[in-house]
Amino acid sequence: MASTASGNPLRDPRDRRLPRLPDNSALVVFGATGDLARKKLIPAVYDLANRGLLPPGFVLVGFARRDWSDEDFAAFAREAAERGARTPFREDTWDRLASSVRFRSGSFSDDAAFDGLVKLLADLESSHGVPGNAAFYLSIPPPAFPVVLKQMQRTGLASNEAAGGWRRVVIEKPFGNDLETARQLNSLVDDVFTPDDVFRIDHYLGKETVQNLFALRFANTLFEPIWNSHFVDSVQITMAEDVGIGTRAGFYDETGAARDVLQNHLLQLLALTAMEEPVSLGAEAIRTEKLKALRAVSLPEDFATYAVRGQYSQGWLAGERVRGYLEEADIPATSATETFVAVRLGVQTRRWAGVPFYLRTGKRLPRRVTEIAITFTKAPHLPFDETDTTELGNNQLVIRVQPDEGVTLRFGSKVPGSSMEVRDVAMDFLFGEAFTEALPEAYERLILDVLLGDATLFPNNAEVEESWRIIDPLEDFWQSTTPHAYRAGTWGPAAADEMLSRDGRRWRRP
């Protein structure tokens, strides 16, 4: 708990209804002029300031190669905030924030630049009342991690003792390219920072709907009794994107959909869906249950049937003709990188044994959507004539992560009239309609949690390594295969549909 809250005798530190305010601190963004900083991080910082959630002594420090002054970076940050902020742009909010924006120019191998950063952070104690507290956000390509981390080790930037406050590091995915490289990265990071000060960010865990899984499951008696293999037929987790690879050709062609999305986002959603109730909502208790769920994940025996890769070809999307993956700029004509993955996994626990978890992700699909669909078993006996229920399917609970965040419950109901006909109807809950508070962006919540030192929504190194244990065998199998082609604007290759049809099921159409 931040000192501002713990010093209030009228407030119970266990009461989480009121927002928590971090201690005076600095957020240092390496790669501060890149796309992630411009589109997500700087707007999130502005939104936190606009909501009154940053401490009076907060400083945003940018570090990049451009030969900029503090004023140049402030102008860049203002434009980013005006374009990307969720909350209205207010001059008074910006003026307060702009007075605490600093910039340091230099390459990651520039000793003098890092020495200058040390001096800047030390000077903030007298200028802004920052008692050595700093979070370092590595918004940089993964190959640059070792260089930056070793510079921080050399200069003592990572040392809580030397700083006289706390020092934390935020690492963006991917966390390595396989289990071996993930272990190497984890070892390097843990050599520089203490494990409790390392925050591996998965922005999907910052989304309000994902966090609502805890409330949905554990605050209600309605769902938890049937959240098991006795009542659940199958689980589908989908993350679909309608966009292509954009300007990420170099990164994406080396990474692919499995490493980019399946290894982190989708497996984290699986863990939250399959985990047991934690003893508390503390970070360690939640991580323990997620890790147990990941360790119980089993791979299909037949990879050729239940692990499908795809690559989009040219097609039509939203009325416009779009290029195929091999026609994208800077993509080799012989590339075998997948843009679509569908796989069937199991969770070998008493709760989930026998229930298939179908995970899929892809680019250039018909629409952007992320959802978790829990499909329940059919009633063991229906007292209706067969013709009465031809339009009746399985009951289904759908948690929509994005967009149109909310929950849909599908169940059977009689059609009004003199005849007897039972068909599916849907009951919708939308966050935007049920609450007056607009949903915060994921990066708002996660940046605030880093400053507060709350690691609840951040996977630890054990979770990362367990995820690679699941992905590595799939990647090894796919090395000798060619992705199935699918037209842009469709829901993936036919092989993905055949995968479910073999089990007597079909993909839910979002």
* Average predicted confidence (pLDDT) for the chain: 88
pLDDT reported for residue 29 = 95
For the cut 90, the answer to whether the pLDDT of residue 352 exceeds it is yes
Of the listed ranges 38-42, 156-160, 210-214, the least confidently predicted one is 210-214
Specify the 3-state DSSP secondary structure of 172: strand
Mark 75-87 as b/e (b = at least 16 C-beta within 10 Å): ebbbebbeebbbb
Q: Tens of pLDDT along 60-69?
A: 999 999 999 9
Distance between CA atoms of residues 312 and 335, nearest Å = 12
Q: Tens of pLDDT along 85-138?
A: 999 999 999 999 999 999 999 999 999 999 999 999 999 888 888 888 999 999
Assess contact for 118 and 10: CB atoms under 8 A: no
For the cut 60, the answer to whether the pLDDT of residue 244 exceeds it is yes
For the cut 60, the answer to whether the pLDDT of residue 409 exceeds it is yes
7 compared with 122, residue with greater pLDDT: 122
Secondary structure in 3-state letters for 359-422: EEEECCCCCCEEEEEEEECCCCCCCCCHHHHCECCCCEEEEEEECCCEEEEEEEEECCCCCCCE
Share of the chain above pLDDT 70, in %: 92
- Residue positions forming the annotated binding site for substrate: 203, 207, 241, 260, 363
Share of the chain above pLDDT 90, in %: 57
Domains in the chain, ordered, with CATH?
A: 25-172 (3.40.50.720), 205-503 (3.30.360.10)
pLDDT reported for residue 392 = 67
In sequence order, what DSSP letters do the residues of 123-137 get, joined into one string? Answer: HHHHHH---S-EEEE
Q: Which pLDDT band, with edges at 50, 70 and 90, does 184 fall under?
A: confident
- Residue positions forming the annotated binding site: 31-38, 65, 173, 203, 207, 241, 260, 363
383 compared with 489, residue with greater pLDDT: 489
Residue 404, C-beta contacts closer than 8 angstroms, at least 6 positions apart: 430, 432
CA distances 268 to 71, 287, 367, Å, are 40, 11, 22
Helices (H), 300-455: 303-306, 431-434, 442-452
For the cut 70, the answer to whether the pLDDT of residue 398 exceeds it is yes
Helices (H), 24-134: 35-36, 42-50, 70-84, 91-98, 111-128
Radius of gyration of the chain (CA): 24
Assess contact for 363 and 243: CB atoms under 8 A: yes
Residue 443 burial by CB count (10 A; 0-12/13-18/19+): exposed, middle or buried?
buried
Please, what is the Cα angle at 187 between 461 and 1, to 5 degrees?
50
Q: Which pLDDT band, with edges at 50, 70 and 90, does 389 fall under?
A: low
Q: Tens of pLDDT along 190-233?
A: 889 988 899 988 887 877 778 788 888 888 888 889 999 999 99
Phi/psi of residue 399, nearest 5 degrees: -100, 115
- Residue positions forming the annotated binding site for NADP(+): 31-38, 65, 173
Task: Kindly report the pTM of this predicted structure.
Answer: 0.88
Residues with catalytic function? 265
Please, what is the Cα angle at 270 between 265 and 272, to 5 degrees?
95
For the cut 50, the answer to whether the pLDDT of residue 442 exceeds it is yes
Q: Which pLDDT band, with edges at 50, 70 and 90, does 11 fall under?
A: low
For the cut 60, the answer to whether the pLDDT of residue 350 exceeds it is yes
Amino acid at 27: L
pLDDT reported for residue 426 = 79
pLDDT reported for residue 505 = 94
Q: Which residues share a beta bridge with 436?
A: none
Assess contact for 358 and 234: CB atoms under 8 A: yes
pLDDT reported for residue 393 = 73
Rounded average pLDDT over 308-328: 93
pLDDT reported for residue 4 = 44
pLDDT reported for residue 472 = 95
Of the listed ranges 21-30, 103-112, 425-434, 450-459, the least confidently predicted one is 425-434
Helices (H), 399-479: 431-434, 442-452, 461-478
Distance between CA atoms of residues 394 and 380, nearest Å = 12
Q: How far is CA 407 from the centre of its chain?
A: 19
Distance between CA atoms of residues 84 and 42, nearest Å = 8
Q: Which pLDDT band, with edges at 50, 70 and 90, does 422 fall under?
A: confident
202 compared with 240, residue with greater pLDDT: 240
Please, what is the Cα angle at 47 between 43 and 53, to 5 degrees?
135
Residue 135, C-beta contacts closer than 8 angstroms, at least 6 positions apart: 25, 26, 27, 28, 167, 168, 169, 170, 199, 450, 451
Angle between helices 461-478 and 267-274 (to 10 degrees): 120
pLDDT reported for residue 284 = 87
Instruction: Please state, as a whole number, how many other Cβ atoms lie within 10 Å of the Cβ of residue 29.
Output: 27
Instruction: Please state, as a whole number, how many other Cβ atoms lie within 10 Å of the Cβ of residue 40.
Output: 20
Assess contact for 163 and 130: CB atoms under 8 A: no
Amino acid at 442: A
Of the listed ranges 14-28, 252-266, 390-404, the least confidently predicted one is 14-28
29 compared with 17, residue with greater pLDDT: 29
Distance between CA atoms of residues 322 and 242, nearest Å = 11
For the cut 70, the answer to whether the pLDDT of residue 390 exceeds it is no
Q: Which pLDDT band, with edges at 50, 70 and 90, does 188 fall under?
A: confident
Of the listed ranges 14-18, 71-75, 335-339, the least confidently predicted one is 14-18
Q: How far apart are the first and last CA of the chain?
A: 40
pLDDT reported for residue 391 = 64
